[in-house]
């Protein structure tokens, strides 16, 4: 298979995960060295030039799989970043030319995706992540190369927008989740607190969030009831022009 790259077009992915407490983003080290820190810190979003003839969605999937090992996860194209100066840092540009094997790179328009990953809620955020990738909480993002800080910010804004109109929350939670996990997730994304009683009333009115006869295990307090999202029911019931939860 010919994997020659298109020298004008790339895909970058803002990969979000929720650990039950904070929203996290996956960043990689430009130099792909082991994380002993020897090569300095050139952090960036996972991304790549597209392969000639490759659909963008497939590029995004390819990148995602490379860094997380996951397939079939939620991916949403949210913006194009095309500032002709976005690669103007000479050193980073040279790195890109060398690492991609494409020498005639002058300007790259990048299509940005965000993707949502289910982490376990046990406080640990491990996953089969490649060695040079690490989770960073969104409120403490270090400096990134190129315009990746801008892309990340934009991804976060678009994620918030999506949360108001689409059932994205279930992409970030385990299949079986508690209502308090769901509430916490909304609070983290929206940036303000919600009234616990009113939230539960609202959710209980939604027929597509289904209570199970199952409870949390392994917690040292009253174990919460678990719920699942019934996407079939949701698709039948959703109305085109109304928000989703809040």
> Which residue in this structure is represented by tokens 């939670």?
173
* Contact criterion met (CB below 8 Å) for 169 and 66: no
Report, in Å, the least distance between residue 129 CB and DNA: 27
Instruction: Give Cα 150 to chain centroid, integer Å.
Output: 15
**Partners of 80 in the β-ladder:** 111
DSSP letter, residue 84: T
Nearest CB to DNA, comparing residues 6 and 180:
180
> Which residue in this structure is represented by tokens 């315009």?
147
Nearest CB to a second copy, comparing residues 197 and 239:
239
Judge residue 193's burial from the number of C-beta atoms within 10 Å of its C-beta, 0-12 exposed, 13-18 middle, 19 or more buried.
Answer: exposed
164 binds DNA, rule: CB under 7 A: no
Q: Which does 137 bind (CB under 5 to 8 A by kind): DNA, a second copy, none?
A: none
* Contact criterion met (CB below 8 Å) for 75 and 63: no
Report, in Å, the least distance between residue 117 CB and a second copy: 23
Report, in Å, the least distance between residue 133 CB and DNA: 29
Count of C-beta atoms within a 10 Å radius of residue 30: 20
Nearest CB to a second copy, comparing residues 219 and 246:
246
Nearest CB to a second copy, comparing residues 71 and 85:
85
55 binds DNA, rule: CB under 7 A: no
Give the separation between CA 20 and CA 23, rounded to whole angstroms. Answer: 8
CA torsion sign, 198 to 239 to 229 to 56? negative
Report, in Å, the least distance between residue 25 CB and DNA: 25
Report, in Å, the least distance between residue 39 CB and a second copy: 32
User: Which residues form the interface with a second copy (CB under 8 A)?
Assistant: 6, 8-9, 52-56, 77, 79-80, 82-84, 106-107, 109, 111, 160-161, 164-165, 190, 241, 243, 246
Nearest CB to DNA, comparing residues 3 and 217:
217
């Amino acid at each position: 298979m010919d994997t020659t790259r298109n020298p004008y077009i790339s895909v970058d992915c803002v990969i979000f995960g929720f650990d039950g407490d904070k929203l996290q983003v996956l960043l990689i080290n430009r130099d792909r060295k082991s994380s002993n820190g020897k090569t300095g810190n050139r952090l960036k979003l996972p991304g790549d030039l597209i392969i000639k003839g490759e659909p963008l969605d497939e590029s995004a999937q390819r990148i995602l799989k490379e860094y997380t090992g996951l397939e079939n996860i939620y991916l949403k194209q949210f913006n194009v970043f095309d500032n002709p100066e976005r690669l103007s840092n000479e050193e980073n540009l040279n790195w890109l030319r060398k690492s991609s094997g494409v020498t005639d790179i002058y300007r790259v328009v990048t299509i940005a995706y965000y993707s949502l990953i289910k982490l376990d809620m046990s406080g640990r955020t491990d996953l089969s992540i490649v060695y040079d990738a690490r989770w960073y909480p969104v409120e403490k993002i270090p400096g990134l190369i190129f315009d990746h800080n801008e892309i990340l910010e934009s991804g976060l804004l678009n994620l918030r927008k999506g949360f108001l109109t689409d059932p994205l929350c279930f992409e970030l939670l385990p299949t079986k989740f508690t209502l308090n996990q769901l509430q916490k997730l909304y609070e983290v994304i929206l940036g303000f607190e919600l009234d616990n009683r009113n939230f539960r009333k609202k959710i209980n009115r939604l027929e597509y969030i289904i209570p199970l006869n199952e409870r949390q295990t392994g917690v040292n307090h009253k174990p919460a009831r678990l719920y699942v999202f019934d996407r079939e029911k949701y698709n039948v019931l959703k109305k085109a022009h109304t928000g989703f939860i809040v």
